[in-house]
Amino acid sequence: MLFSGFLAWGFGLALFVRANLGLGPWDAFHQGLGFQTGLTIGTASIIAGLIVLLFWIPLKERLGLGTIGNVLTIGPATDLGLWLLPEGIEALWLRGAMLAAGMACVGLGSALYLPAGLGAGPRDGLMMGLHRKMGWSIRASRTTVEASALAIGWAMGGTVGIGTLVFALGIGPVVQASLAHSHRFLRDWRLPPPRQDLRPNQQRNQRT
């Protein structure tokens, strides 16, 4: 389920790319990096994720299985989606539909992997690390990080447009709605909480 979520997220990003109406801040950065280096957007995403993880060291953030899976899975899933989806789509209605479908895939991916609690993605961890270490608000941390990624990505040739605005304004509500309603069609697969040691009174009661 965890990696199914990453696959859904990566395919959603591929839909954003093929819609060609603008990408989210980090994806514009990955696309721009790919343009400058000749790498695919997925490979650029992996490299960027690994570099961001280096910033976790002074921020004292902890890796998890979900963190590693995020770095190594979403990029290849995006490249696979780009290989499957046709290029050069001109019909505006179809591009808009792909944008909406991309948001839906991102929401589904979030509902599949976020409840596991197996570690934040590298970019979210950077945001939370700045919040804890620097005392910035989460809003200020996220705005600073994503605005910087978007500006650099745009300077490198990443696609910025109406899709960027849709992603920025829609990602929060879509993820929240997906998590709120996921219990209707997905079982709770989170790891069970660690067993608590019995108190002395409880241990005596069990012996008797």
Q: Residue 201 domain-assigned?
A: no
- Average pLDDT of the residues in 133-162: 89
Q: Residue 131 domain-assigned?
A: yes
Q: Residue 30 domain-assigned?
A: yes
Greatest Cα pair distance, the chain, in angstroms, is 76
Q: Residue 96 domain-assigned?
A: yes
- Using a pLDDT cut of 70, give the percent of the chain over it: 85
Phi/psi region, residue 85 (left: phi>0; alpha: psi -120 to 50; beta: rest), is beta
Q: Residue 195 domain-assigned?
A: no
Model pTM score: 0.82
pLDDT given at position 87 = 92
Containing domain of residue 168, as a range?
A: 2-187
Overall number of domains in the chain: 1
Residue length of the chain: 208
Q: What is the enclosing helix (H) or strand (E) of 199?
A: none
Q: Residue 40 domain-assigned?
A: yes
Q: Residue 197 domain-assigned?
A: no
- Average pLDDT of the residues in 133-145: 83
Q: Residue 112 domain-assigned?
A: yes
pLDDT in tens, 76-110: 999 999 999 999 999 999 999 999 999 999 888 88
